[in-house]
A and B are shown apart, each in its own frame.
Chain A
Amino acid sequence: MQPAFEEIEHTADWALRVRGQNLTDLFRNAALGMLSLLDIEPVPGNTESRSFELTAEDSETLLVAWLEELLFPLEVENAAVVDFQVKVLQKVQLKATIELKKIASIKKEIKAVTFNELDIRAIETGYETIIVFDV
């Protein structure tokens, strides 16, 4: 069975190949893959829950917006996403609920989610894309 996400070679940055049975699954796996790269240790204790909706003109732009939304609290609130639920609707809209915890330590930094080689393709088992992160 092919992995939900795997790190692939990139000279300067980080790149993931992500797969999903449907777009919701792809977006979930992309988020899990990205968060695994950051090596975050949250502070024990309560989580803060937050819900939001995003829309974009195509699925790739929506994927970038979704991943950026998960990164934003890191710097501004010193908080990390420790759990989430996401549902992609109509390919260009999503609804999500994220659970945030304050950060005890974080080892890696992602500067940005790029559009480089980003192309959500239908494959036999669902969808696949490459995502390159500027680090």
Chain B
Amino acid sequence: MVEKKDLIKITDVTWEIPTSYREDMRVPVRIFADETLIEAALGDKSFDQAVNTATLPGLVSPVVVMPDVHQGYGFPIGGVAASRYPDGVISPGAIGYDINCGVRLLASRISLEDVRGELPDLALALDANCPSGVGVGGSVRLTTKELDKVCRQGSAWALKNNYARRDDLERTEEQGQIPGAEPSSISSRAKQRGKGQLGTLGAGNHFIEIDVVEEIFHEAAADAMGLAEGLLTVQIHCGSRGFGHQICSDYVREFQSAVKRYGIKLPDRELVCAPLNSPEGKRYKAAMACAANYAFCNRQVLAHHVRRSFDQVLAGRVPDWDLHQVYDIAHNMGKTETHIVDGEKVRVCVHRKGATRAFGPGFEGLPEVYRPFGQPVLVPGSMGTASWVLLGTEESMTKSFGSSCHGAGRVMSRRQAKREIWGQDLREKLEAQGIIIRAGSMPGLAEEAPRAYKDVDAVVDVVVRAGIAAKVARLRPVVVIKG
């Protein structure tokens, strides 16, 4: 396993594992972390998985590791790897089973003080209107034809079917519609799973949370986002559900033979990949786009149900109960982007798994109102802890392929959490802190306890000190809905 002596300290928050660490590494690994977070990551196989990732063919230097990194499968969670077109590779496992898992942030003009007494009703309404939990079907059942449309159109399908406002799409990464989606690249099993799950939260670490804006760090950007201290926001964290899981499973299995055909040798079979310009690589990319668009649409339909819940509970009780979208961002995705590498513009496929895009000011894909500031980056916490709204920076473009962290990052295994934490106790403790919890499963709640995660404030401190993100606002949870 990688040990601390194998790391080269570049700055207080930047470390490197050089290619000399292992002879099959093609590029070095750059880690953004402070001493404490380095120690935490050395407690599992995070860095070994980053080293394994660095063996993928066609990578552009370096593999980047975020401070919220933790052990995943194949590729670490909190990793970024860019492969060069056309001869680089695309790896489904390096994007993840929950393709386009991501976070949406809605904001309001509702003061916490004005609705404190309504929070239990809001929790009930959200729980009732937003289907969650294992195997729970959605509020929208799709025919195969409609599912194909969701695959191609993403959030635009939601707009056509009255689940969205035009502003929502403008404030979504890629406007909620990744180009190149091709439903014929998807198995019938994936389609069977996708038809009944649109508009569902799922289980595990997914949640809907009402937060209050606790502190503003960048007045102008916060103003553009409609964020102000004391006002309520809502976060929605989920992805492409069983649809995306099946697509990734199908391609990880298919690529087991593709790597042999292309003579690619890998240290872990979960990293299987295919050249970007190969028929297999192109088909996976088209399938991934379908799942990504499904996920954008899924969060959009959930946002519609969140608005409906606020309407049911708050209409007539407060002057303005509307929720406007701040942004929607993916943190499991492979994106075709152009980056400057050694002074040259290079077209790459950036794999971000447990990492977000964090483009700096001036990026044309941003809505005009955000363009002077940079792309909003949403960093959810862990039920009892803060969440953050950040901005992408110019430096992130040169240091991390325009990427930043995606959350707090786990530090305790689920097995240990189950042993040490009792779900009911945790719920009572959080409620004593003024956080209303509604959860489908108490053991599931225990696995997601704040103690199982790193200190999100420390994670954010690192990305800010490293220059790859800037602070806008800190949010504090008041209602948490878990599947």
B204 contacts which chain A residues (CB < 8 A)? 109, 111, 135
Interface check B192, CB cutoff 8 A: yes
Q: How far is the CA of A64 from the CA of B272 in the complex (A)?
A: 14
Closest chain A residue, CB of each to CB of B412: A11
Tell me if A135 and B414 are in contact (CB < 8 A): yes
Q: How far is the CA of A108 from the CA of B205 in the complex (A)?
A: 11
Tell me if B97 and A116 are in contact (CB < 8 A): no
- Which of B70, B73, B249 has most A Cβ within 10 Å? B73
A9 contacts which chain B residues (CB < 8 A)? 44, 413, 415-416
Interface check B334, CB cutoff 8 A: no
Tell me if A10 and B134 are in contact (CB < 8 A): no
> Which of B192, B268, B416, B444 touches A116 (beta carbons < 8 Å)?
B268
Interface check A74, CB cutoff 8 A: yes
Interface check B58, CB cutoff 8 A: no
B412 contacts which chain A residues (CB < 8 A)? 11
Contact size range, B:
35 or more
Contact size range, A:
35 or more
Q: How far is the CA of A112 from the CA of B429 in the complex (A)?
A: 32
B102 contacts which chain A residues (CB < 8 A)? none
Q: From residue B382, how far is it (CB to closest CB) to chain A in Å?
A: 13
Tell me if A12 and B70 are in contact (CB < 8 A): yes
Closest chain A residue, CB of each to CB of B442: A107
Interface residues of A in 23-63 (CB under 8 A from B): 39, 57-58, 60-61
Quick one: given A61-B256, A113-B249, are A72 and B268 in contact (CB under 8 Å)? no
Tell me if A108 and B444 are in contact (CB < 8 A): yes
Q: How far is the CA of A12 from the CA of B96 in the complex (A)?
A: 13
Tell me if A11 and B44 are in contact (CB < 8 A): yes
Tell me if A112 and B203 are in contact (CB < 8 A): no
> Which of A13, A65, A75, A134 touches B193 (beta carbons < 8 Å)?
A75
Interface class of chain B by DSSP: mixed
A134 contacts which chain B residues (CB < 8 A)? 73, 96-98, 245
B414 contacts which chain A residues (CB < 8 A)? 10, 12-14, 135
Interface check B393, CB cutoff 8 A: no
Closest chain B residue, CB of each to CB of A68: B249
Interface residues of B in 247-294 (CB under 8 A from A): 248-249, 252-253, 256-257, 268-270, 272
Tell me if B256 and A57 are in contact (CB < 8 A): yes
Quick one: given A103-B135, A114-B93, A134-B73, are A60 and B269 in contact (CB under 8 Å)? yes
Interface check A124, CB cutoff 8 A: no
Interface check B471, CB cutoff 8 A: no
A76 contacts which chain B residues (CB < 8 A)? 192-193, 196
B18 contacts which chain A residues (CB < 8 A)? none
Tell me if B269 and A115 are in contact (CB < 8 A): yes
A123 contacts which chain B residues (CB < 8 A)? none
A91-135 interface code vs B (CB 8 A; 1 in, 0 out): 000000000000100111101111111100000000000001011
A residues near B (Cβ < 8 Å) are 7-14, 39, 57-58, 60-61, 64-65, 68, 72, 74-76, 78, 103, 106-109, 111-118, 132, 134-135
B residues near A (Cβ < 8 Å) are 44, 46, 70-74, 77, 93, 96-98, 134-135, 189, 192-193, 196-197, 202-204, 242, 245, 248-249, 252-253, 256-257, 268-270, 272, 410-416, 440-441, 443-444, 483
